[in-house]
Chains A and B, each alone.
Chain A
């Protein structure tokens, strides 16, 4: 297709027809001059104008009145953590400020006390903490073990396992593993978001 500059008699291309029919801003003078002379192009423009009027006049069907309510019942808008933190800070600044002051005061006191004890190096302090945690964990494990040993449930399980033998114990263990895996899978599914519900999609 040759350019209008080299062929002023060429008919309007679809983009130009649309420009005139829809009254878009870019309407070159040469194309306008051609439109004034060419009955065929004029018909094209008028036909598209009429089609556009017919289509743009079509009504927008409305959904049911409860549409918005049903959508909002399924929407969970969540602000990012920093926005939520800012909102909480603005709304509860008094207790937050009090807690922050208390925290600052206690940590400062602890830091002061630590620096005033030259015999407590950082390494010996961390060793002390690890020792305390280990002792506490050991005590907890021993307490649970003695509780289970004293309970009749554990004794009956051990007795039953002695009676069913190694093969039975392996079978029981497999069954228990299956139950555990199924339970974990069910929990994972429960934590998933609601699936797409389409009444007619079945």
Chain B
């Protein structure tokens, strides 16, 4: 049985029948998007990994509660988002920086918690330029309010619909539109030189 060819609902059904290989395939599909969302929300690799791990464990261990009328990915993102928001509320990490977690008090800790911008460019000069642009965008995203940041990442980086974002963030559709509109305006203002 080739699990890579199976759809998400098929894999979820197999997981419900305790098929571990189906769970591994779902993990393979969503580990990067879920980790990226959390990483961009908390800006701390180690913490993001812990939270992403917890999100997957909770999702898999509570599959019986999953309503198949929703997309599995939306449900998974919702679990990850709620877990991260709960953690941020407890830690009051509302404003973060690409230069590292605000809780990092030494240079070493700042370096350890700073977001790493990857590049897919093959030529070194293009890769460097791509990384620099990526860093600027990450800085701009990091300066947004937590709600705006999550909404804009889900919309433009993860390609989620407004309805899915409303479901994930548990806010009305109109609020999602407002968050995204304001986030775009702030980003367009900060990244004007890159967008022209």
Instruction: Count chain B CB atoms within 10 A of each CB in A14, A54, A68 and give the residue with the most.
Output: A54
Distance in angstroms from A86 CB to nearest chain B CB is 9
- Which residues of chain B are within 8 angstroms of A196 by Cβ–Cβ distance? 54
- The reply on B118 being an interface residue by CB < 8 A is yes
Closest to B116 in A: A61
Query: Do A200 and B50 have beta carbons less than 8 Å apart?
Result: yes
- The reply on A6 being an interface residue by CB < 8 A is no
- Which residues of chain A are within 8 angstroms of B87 by Cβ–Cβ distance? 198, 201
Q: Please judge, given known A-B contacts A56-B159, A76-B61, whether A47 and B195 are in contact too, CB under 8 Å.
A: yes
- The reply on A154 being an interface residue by CB < 8 A is no
Distance in angstroms from A104 CB to nearest chain B CB is 30
- Which residues of chain A are within 8 angstroms of B91 by Cβ–Cβ distance? 201
Q: How far is the CA of A123 from the CA of B177 in the complex (A)?
A: 74
Q: How far is the CA of A105 from the CA of B47 in the complex (A)?
A: 62
Within 8 A of B (CB), among A41-85: 47-48, 50-52, 54-64, 67-68, 70-72, 74-80, 83-84
Within 8 A of B (CB), among A20-51: 47-48, 50-51
- The reply on A92 being an interface residue by CB < 8 A is no
A-B contact count (CB 8 A): 132
Closest to B27 in A: A68
Query: Do B157 and A77 have beta carbons less than 8 Å apart?
Result: no
Q: Please judge, given known A-B contacts A47-B188, A63-B52, A77-B23, whether A200 and B47 are in contact too, CB under 8 Å.
A: yes
Closest to B156 in A: A55
Query: Do A201 and B157 have beta carbons less than 8 Å apart?
Result: no
Contact-residue bracket for chain B: 35 or more
Q: Please judge, given known A-B contacts A72-B20, A72-B27, A79-B17, whether A54 and B61 are in contact too, CB under 8 Å.
A: no
Residue count of chain A within 8 Å CB distance of chain B: 39
- Which residues of chain B are within 8 angstroms of A70 by Cβ–Cβ distance? 53
Query: Do B52 and A14 have beta carbons less than 8 Å apart?
Result: no
- The reply on A197 being an interface residue by CB < 8 A is yes
Instruction: Count chain B CB atoms within 10 A of each CB in A14, A50, A60, A68 and give the residue with the most.
Output: A60
- Which residues of chain A are within 8 angstroms of B64 by Cβ–Cβ distance? 80
Q: How far is the CA of A103 from the CA of B140 in the complex (A)?
A: 73
Q: How far is the CA of A168 from the CA of B64 in the complex (A)?
A: 53
Distance in angstroms from A188 CB to nearest chain B CB is 20
Q: Please judge, given known A-B contacts A61-B115, A199-B47, whether A55 and B137 are in contact too, CB under 8 Å.
A: yes
**When the two chains form the complex, which single residue of B63, B118, B188 contacts A59, counting CB atoms closer than 8 Å?**
B118
- The reply on B148 being an interface residue by CB < 8 A is no
Q: How far is the CA of A50 from the CA of B191 in the complex (A)?
A: 10
Query: Do A77 and B195 have beta carbons less than 8 Å apart?
Result: no
**When the two chains form the complex, which single residue of A15, A58, A74, A198 contacts B138, counting CB atoms closer than 8 Å?**
A58
User: Apart from A50-B194, A58-B157, what 8 extra A-B contacts exist at CB < 8 Å?
Assistant: A51-B156, A60-B157, A68-B28, A71-B60, A72-B24, A75-B61, A79-B16, A199-B50
- A-B contacts, 27 listed (Cβ < 8 Å): A48-B184, A48-B188, A51-B191, A54-B194, A55-B152, A57-B134, A58-B137, A58-B138, A59-B120, A60-B33, A60-B36, A63-B35, A67-B27, A67-B31, A67-B35, A67-B49, A67-B52, A71-B57, A71-B60, A72-B23, A75-B61, A77-B63, A79-B16, A79-B18, A83-B18, A198-B51, A198-B87
